[in-house]
Homo-oligomer: A and B are copies of this chain.
Amino acid sequence: MAEPTRPMRRQEIRRENEKTILVAAEKVFAEAGFGGATMQLIADLAGLPKANLHYYFATKEELYRSVVQNIFEIWLQAANCFDAARGPIDGISAYIDAKMEISRRHPDGSKVWASEVMHGAPVLQDYMESTLREWTDGRVEIIRRWIEEAKMDPVDPRHLLYMLWATTQHYADFGHQIETLNGGKPLSDRQWREAKENIKRVILTGIGALPA
């Protein structure tokens, strides 16, 4: 046991550097897209020589893949809000809150995800056909049950889910447009709260879960 800390140090160095690179990569991919992003830009933002990126991630595509998979994990976590709920008011409120929090705290990740889907999901196609489809089918079943139990109006569950995804994701993907229309300033705490409340109120009222 002469050098008990050495192997752990190495692991930690790797873990930390990978994290630094992934954070920088997410930002650059979000701002420039996959094609517009360069390893040099990512390296500069991470404060590392370009060759080090290739030491940790063999290719640009492998780095991009890691960024996208990270985001998918976060997305799935938020998706769980739906499960514990007893009805649409609980479930949909919690889901909107969670997704809006992602749009606010993780706008770069949201943009990379949007870009990936817009370009035909070259990396995520497998996940979309397995994990995402299963999750969606499960949530469609839950919504159907809510409708049967007369907890909400008979709204098509899939189009309702698309509406939830669209409205919440919009605040990240089109954040620049919203900021411009807000006089060039980011939304304040109060405005984010209002956004959430408006979405929840319109949708929950619209599906007949809240009294009009």
Contact = CB atoms under 8 A, between A and B. Distances in A.
A162 to B, nearest CB: 6
By size class, the interface of chain A is 35 or more
A163 interface: yes
A201 to B, nearest CB: 7
Interface in A159-212: 159-160, 162-163, 165-167, 169-171, 173-174, 176-178, 180-181, 194-195, 198-199, 201-208, 211-212
Copies in the complex: 2
A133 interface: yes
Contacts of A132: 177, 180-181
B121 A176 contact: yes
A31 interface: yes
Given A37-B35, A159-B195, A173 B206 contact: no
Interface stretch (A2-10, A83-91, A109-117): A109-117
A163 B206 contact: no
B202 A163 contact: yes
Interface string A93-124: 00000000000000000010011011111000
18 contacts: A31-B119, A33-B119, A111-B118, A114-B118, A114-B174, A115-B115, A118-B173, A132-B181, A158-B181, A162-B170, A163-B199, A163-B202, A166-B174, A202-B207, A204-B206, A205-B208, A208-B212, A212-B212
